[in-house]
Amino acid sequence: MSENRRDVTVDVVIPVYNEESDLERSINTLRGFLRATFPYQWGIVIADNASVDTTPEIAERLSSQYPEVAHLHLDQKGRGRALRRAWLDSKADIVSYMDVDLSTSLDAFLPLIDGLVKERYDVAIGSRLKKGASVQRQPKREIISRCYNLLIKLMFRNRFSDAQCGFKALTRKAVADLVPMVKDQGWFFDSELLLRAEQRGYAVYEVPVAWVDDQDSRVNIVQTAWDDLKGLFRVRFT
């Protein structure tokens, strides 16, 4: 991959499900940031996984209004499913994703991509657990997250620190190699992707991030935790 930033293309995928209240504001914030500060060629892909509110209409309007914004609609729900489709369809040198609430500070995005271009890694993640990270979140969520990452360490002796931060990037080579191996279509997609990456010998580049918890998050913590546990045992023993 060329180290000349203007020769490198980056797709930023925003997976969404029923995000009519946040989508337009977030896309405008992200566009403004990328236009003002980001030195690589870039595009934004809104990956809507079966929203039933006005999210598809908003996404379609934004993609018509801005040539650098694309809208991908899936008829089935699942964040992992949306990322899989968007990443495999992408022609960019690097694919990435971030959560629509922009909980992770955008200041970490250029260091994340530079880790792939300049440092020659193939997988890069934001981490809320690396030295230098700043996190504001509810105590219950903080405890669950730390316990989950500790469990992964105990089961896999992995080297990456934060499996679930919604702020990741891969080279096209890594996408082609790893994404077809990932079975999960939902929230466990991130963890399985990173575990498969280490199994395949990939080193994971980590960037400490500033992260603020989304107080309006609609993630079912209990169901997600149970699905994650089942996913960990599946990956560990298959």
| Residues identified as active-site | 190
Q: What would the DSSP string read from start to end of the chain?
A: --S-GGG-EEEEEEEESS-TTTHHHHHHHHHHHHHHH--SEEEEEEEEES--SSHHHHHHHHHHH-TTEEEEEESS--HHHHHHHHHHH--SSEEEEE-TT--B-GGGHHHHHHHHHTS--SEEEEESSSTT-EEE--HHHHHHHHHHHHHHHHHH--S-S-S--SEEEEEHHHHHHHGGG----STTHHHHHHHHHHHTT--EEEEE-EEE--TT----HHHHHHHHHHHHHHHHT-
